[in-house]
Amino acid sequence: MKSGEAPANARILVVEDERIVAKDIQNTLISLGYGVSGLASSGEEAIDRAAETHPDLVLMDIALKGEMDGVEAVTQIQSLFDIPVVYLTAYSDEETLQRAKITQPYGYILKPFSESGLHINIEMALHKHRAEQQIRASLQEKEVLLKEDYHRARKNLQLISSLLRHQSASTEFEALSPRELEVLQLMAEGNTNRTIAGLMNVSVRSVEIHRANLMEKLGVHDLAGLVRVAIRHGLIDVSRFLGVANTDPEQVRAAIHQAISRLISAEVFCITIVDHERAEAEDVYMVGIENQRNAEPYSMVGTFVDHMFRRVKSLRIDDVQLLSEEVKPVIAHLEADTRSVLAVLLPGSSQNMGIMLAQSKSSAAYSEEDEEILEMLAAHAATAIENAQLYQGAQRAAADEERQRLSRHLHDSVTQSLYSLTLMTNGWAAMSEKGELENPAQSFRQLEQLGVQALGEMRMLIHQLRQPVLVETGLVGALRERLEAVEHRMGLETQLVTEGDVEKLPQPVEEELFHITQEALNNALRHAEASNIWVRIAVENGSARLVIEDDGHGFDTGKENGGLGLTTMRERAESVGGELKLRSRSGKGTVVEVLLELS
């Protein structure tokens, strides 16, 4: 298929360790007109299938069973193939989600998903990938133009000018030809030998020879050494090297760590940010530290951060073991097997904003050059961190503004109506005691009008906060949509029965019953291996009853089973004045029942 050309029948690799779910996804994809290049149930198998079938897209479950989870599998697939990946996930721990973000997937699909949601996510991913291919193709065409003599001469002049600017500080570039300088810059920017060969219109072998000559002439032994030289002499864009073109603070910090690890030993790495107004510090990023960071900010007085701020310059220690026992505790997060330490300040726009700390198990692991490089990177990293913090602050401000808007609406409408109602009630009560209330019926009608007005305004505000599916279809419609989109497509027989005025259930009750049913259905899918599921909702004589029943293998209710979310379901039932009951026996299925009085 040519770059940028839409596939007539895109072929998709499905990676899902639940066989029933995988088959359902396969059937759905086929019904949508896609081809399925294969099914894989493990990370290792996914890599093999991708190599064999070369799919147009991979649907990857994050939480795969086995030694390799979905995130690691995607990392390897991305390193080998140009294939877009969309994650499938029902739930996952925060650490896994953060790792998944770093792989920069083309989308996330939350389980259970609708057919339209799956279709939209796939089409968006394919469109985005095709657009990126077109951009790459366009860039390649532009690179061909840059190979013309005029542009090459201009680039060489720029490189030579850079060399002359730094000649007084170092003579290590004297032996390099303009061609070798160009190779050095392209390598430092992260290009492969093959890419460099294409950009320079030479063979890969020629690039390898240039690389070997560079290392020999510059006295370095690896790519990290070459990158250090390029950074020190301003041959590359440091911000681009750090990969910090992002607005999520956690992703920015992780990208900074990955980039720094390419240049220096950082078996332990920490970023600490300071709040100067409160004189507090917070360890916002940590890797390789057994005792993880404080959950809350802590006073910086007398800490290592305080010491660094008073020192006002970097700190490099060749062997921690030679320090006195009184000094060692001062160093932040010092691990037992640490030998070398390198700490630098993070310069802010007006004052230092924090520190970066690297530790190594080897003695004398950091040189003066490493210290210089880390200081240079810290300046760019600080800017990226500040930008991410500003963006996060803007998001919080938007949320605060929305809360303020709702507060203003409450004050201007509902609160005023209730206040007027209170004043009128008090006044008429006083008049009634004195026998001065001439027309009580009319007074009560006025009170009723104010109450109805306040109720209508309150309902309008609550409506804005309700979940869209409940707003659009109500409880019965939302449950019917769920059973059709998930359980029915999974091959289960389902039945939804309602009795009485279910449509007139109060909105809070609707929401809690919907979430309880959703949790019970998820349990039946994940754990029960059921064939049939029944959902019954009855409203009569001022009470409501919800029953979710399955014919799965059941479980022993006497044993603790926190994975079923029973505590959350009970809390939801109790929040609307109800009671949750659970009945289950091995081989006899499970019944979840909620009883509540509507008064």
Q: What is the mean pLDDT of the chain?
A: 79
Q: What pLDDT, on a 0 to 100 scale, did the predictor assign at position 481?
A: 82
Q: Does residue 505 carry a pLDDT above 60? A: yes
Task: Give per-residue pLDDT as tens, 559-596.
Answer: 645 455 788 889 889 988 999 999 988 888 899 999 99
Q: Which residue has the higher pLDDT, 210 or 251?
A: 210
Q: Tokens in use for 553?
A: 């293998």
Q: What pLDDT, on a 0 to 100 scale, did the predictor assign at position 579?
A: 93
Q: Does residue 166 carry a pLDDT above 50? A: no
Q: What pLDDT, on a 0 to 100 scale, did the predictor assign at position 407?
A: 63
Task: Give per-residue pLDDT as tens, 68-118.
Answer: 888 888 888 888 888 999 988 876 566 777 777 787 888 888 777 778 878
Q: Tokens in use for 437?
A: 């209330």
Residue 555 makes CB contacts below 8 A (sequence gap 6+) with 527, 561, 584, 586, 590
Q: Which of the four pLDDT bands, split at 50, 70 and 90, describes residue 4? A: very low
Q: Which of 370, 356, 374, 392 is nearest to 246 (CA)?
A: 392
Task: Give per-residue pLDDT as tens, 172-217.
Answer: 556 677 787 788 777 776 677 888 888 888 888 888 888 888 888 7
Q: Which residue has the higher pLDDT, 277 or 221?
A: 277
Q: What pLDDT, on a 0 to 100 scale, did the predictor assign at position 59?
A: 94
- Identify the helix (H) or strand (E) that includes residue 154: helix 149-165
Q: What pLDDT, on a 0 to 100 scale, did the predictor assign at position 170?
A: 47
Q: How far apart are CA 424 and CA 377, in angstroms?
A: 68
Q: Does residue 29 carry a pLDDT above 80? A: yes
Q: Does residue 146 carry a pLDDT above 80? A: no
Q: Which of the four pLDDT bands, split at 50, 70 and 90, describes residue 224? A: confident
Average pLDDT estimate for 270-284? 89
Q: How far apart are CA 87 and CA 70, in angstroms?
A: 8
Phi, then psi, of 210 in degrees rounded to 5: -60, -40
Q: Does residue 5 carry a pLDDT above 50? A: no
Q: Which of the four pLDDT bands, split at 50, 70 and 90, describes residue 57? A: very high
The lowest-confidence range among 47-61, 155-169, 553-567 is 155-169
In DSSP terms, 298 is beta-bridged to: 281
Q: What pLDDT, on a 0 to 100 scale, did the predictor assign at position 173?
A: 57
Q: For residue 307, what are the CA distances in angstroms to 327, 341, 346, 355?
A: 12, 14, 14, 11
Q: Which residue has the higher pLDDT, 515 or 148?
A: 515
Q: How many CB atoms lie within 10 A of CB 96?
A: 16
Task: Give per-residue pLDDT as tens, 315-366.
Answer: 999 988 888 776 677 777 778 788 899 999 998 878 899 999 999 989 998 9
Q: Which residue has the higher pLDDT, 18 or 158?
A: 18
Q: What pLDDT, on a 0 to 100 scale, did the predictor assign at position 99?
A: 77
Q: Tokens in use for 330?
A: 């001062």
Q: Tokens in use for 449?
A: 């009008």
Q: What pLDDT, on a 0 to 100 scale, did the predictor assign at position 496?
A: 94
Q: What pLDDT, on a 0 to 100 scale, did the predictor assign at position 442?
A: 82
Average pLDDT estimate for 391-414? 63
Q: What pLDDT, on a 0 to 100 scale, did the predictor assign at position 6?
A: 40
In DSSP terms, 61 is beta-bridged to: 88
- Identify the helix (H) or strand (E) that includes residue 372: helix 368-409
Q: What pLDDT, on a 0 to 100 scale, did the predictor assign at position 40?
A: 92
Contact criterion met (CB below 8 Å) for 244 and 384: yes
Q: Which residue has the higher pLDDT, 262 or 54?
A: 54
**How do strand 352-360 and strand 268-275 relate by DSSP bridges?**
antiparallel
Average pLDDT estimate for 503-522? 87
Q: Tokens in use for 509?
A: 């009750």
Intra-chain end-to-end CA distance of the chain, in Å: 65
Residue 156 makes CB contacts below 8 A (sequence gap 6+) with 178, 181, 182
Q: How far apart are CA 548 and CA 496, in angstroms?
A: 9
Q: For residue 138, what are the CA distances in angstroms to 134, 199, 202?
A: 6, 13, 20
Q: What pLDDT, on a 0 to 100 scale, did the predictor assign at position 46?
A: 92
Helices and strands of the chain, counted as H and E runs: 19, 16
CB burial of residue 277 (10 Å; 0-12, 13-18, 19+): exposed
